[in-house]
Structure 1
Amino acid sequence: MEGSCNCKEVKFTTSSIIKAILNCNCGLCRKANGSAFSTYAVFPSCDFALKSGALKTVQISKNASKSFCSQCGSPIFNENPKYAGLKIVYLGALDNAEHLKPAVHTYCESQLAWLNDMATLKKMEQGFA
């Protein structure tokens, strides 16, 4: 599988061996990513190869680091020593990931209550004009 950042400066490849696809609802992911939850595909670290660009990595907690494009800031992956040997890749960083679907929600005790009502929200083809 291939992936990239928004500006295409960072490009990477990883195997097609996906350990999990998940939505993380923990408060740390919400804060670090500015979203209600984060969706990740988890791959073996040894199968991840940076092909171009530079990543900046910051320690966002005692157990988590976040790596992102040093040019545009697009998040690429997280790492956590509790999950040694794994890259927790942002689903949005994967090219052509439309066919990938999360199989599990994690840290559900932190999930925002309104997420249960998402299917009932009005749908718009385009954003606000």
Structure 2
Amino acid sequence: MENFTGQCACGAVKIQFDLPKADGIPKQALCHCIFCKRVTGACFTRSIVVPQSSISFPAAVPQLYVHSPSLKWHFCSACGGQLFSENAVLAGKAIVRVGTLDRQEEFEEVQLQLFCKRTNGWVKGALEAENGRFDEFAQPEVVA
């Protein structure tokens, strides 16, 4: 088994789950639906699907937001950070946000994209643009 860990932005809620090593690293799904955009403030969500029964919380348990009978979100009540969601279409599965995981760099391959008709047209160009790119926050100039 391979152990994965993560946490919300403030660290109050930690998530962990085990996956069989033989299955390899799960492939990502990108979702461009309006609800994902509104709830995250981002252009799309980046997630992996894991068995919900494999998830545990070594600290606080996340809060639950029920958007509809078929869609539920689990988040930190302190910082609002989403950890995972449930969708009735994927019964028994958790849709874990890759951005919450400690080893995000391991999740490179995208298996599918959902609600592609809602993809912001400028996203691809913005990601490929050379202007205004910084590896980290730009540091202010020190005037002596």
Query: TM-score if structure 1 supplies the norm length?
Result: 0.88
Give me the whole-angstrom Cα distance separating, in 1, the residues matched to 2:63 and 2:50.
20
Gaps of 5+ in 2: none
Q: Deviations over 1:27-60 (max 9, x none)?
A: 1111111111110111111111111113111112
**Residue 132 of structure 2 is aligned to residue 120 of structure 1:** no
Which residue of 5, 26, 51 maps to 2:8? Answer: 5
- Alpha-carbon separation, structure 2, partners of 1:82 and 1:22: 14
Q: Distance in 1 between matches of 2:63 and 2:10?
A: 15
In structure 2, the residue corresponding to 1:59 is in which secondary structure? strand
Distance 1:5 1:59 in 2: 19
Select which of 14, 18, 21 maps to 2:17.
14
CA RMSD of aligned residues (A): 1.8
Which structure would you say has the larger Rg? 2
Structure 1's 13 and 78: CA in aligned 2 closer, same or farther, altered over 3 A? same
Aligned AA (2:99): G
| Cα distance in structure 2, aligned partners of 1:102 and 1:42 | 13
Deviation at 1:68, TM superposition (A): 0.6
Does the 8 Å CA contact 2:8/2:79 hold for their aligned counterparts? Answer: yes
Q: Deviations over 1:67-102 (max 9, x none)?
A: 111222111001111111110011111112112124
Q: 73, 85, 92: which is aligned to 2:99?
A: 92
How far is the alpha carbon of 1:19 from its aligned partner?
Answer: 5.0
User: SS at 2:124's partner residue?
Assistant: helix
Query: Within 2, Cα distance between the matches of 1:68 and 1:19?
Result: 22
C-alpha change, 1:20 and 1:99, in structure 2 (3 Å) is closer
CA deviations on 1:83-122 (whole Å, 9 max, x unpaired) are 1111001111111211212413221111111122121253
- Aligned residue pairs total 129
TM-score by length of 2: 0.80
